[in-house]
Amino acid sequence: MIKSLINNSDQEWIEQYDRIAKLERERDQIRASGAIAVSGVWIECGKVSGKEFRQAYFRSTVPIFQAKRQAVFAKSDSGLVKRQYIGEENSKAVTAAAESIVRRNRLIAIAKEIALIEKKLEEV
């Protein structure tokens, strides 16, 4: 009975708002589930010379990580560097870092989808 009172454009409008609510709940769950990587950061792995393991680093195109060594402070006015050591490849720390990047990417996708839906709703 109620569905017959709602026309198609109203039904689409309701579905879009339901979709936004679902995306916002997912966004909140992702934020609560753990750390989120900084934008523009990725993970690089490389072999350690003379060792039998590979190590992983966060990398960035611009210096955003706080330097740990005193020598770097002398080279950089800000004390920031473009990479940060995470740990041995396939360690728990590297897995957690990779998950934080996945969370960041999903949050970006959710934000884009919400913006697209809101734009559609403005046009109606």
71-94, pLDDT tens digit by residue?
A: 555 466 677 888 899 999 999 999
Interatomic CA distance for residues 73 and 63, integer angstroms: 12
Confidence of residue 6 (pLDDT cuts 50, 70, 90): low
The answer to whether 120 and 57 are in contact (CB under 8 A) is no
**At how many degrees (to 10) do helices 92-123 and 8-33 cross?**
160
Q: Where are the domains of the chain?
A: 2-123
Instruction: List residues bridging with 65 in a β-sheet.
Output: 81
Q: pTM, whole model, 2 decimals?
A: 0.80
Q: Which stretch of DSSP H or E encloses residue 41?
A: strand 41-47
104-119 pLDDT tens trace: 999 999 999 999 999 9
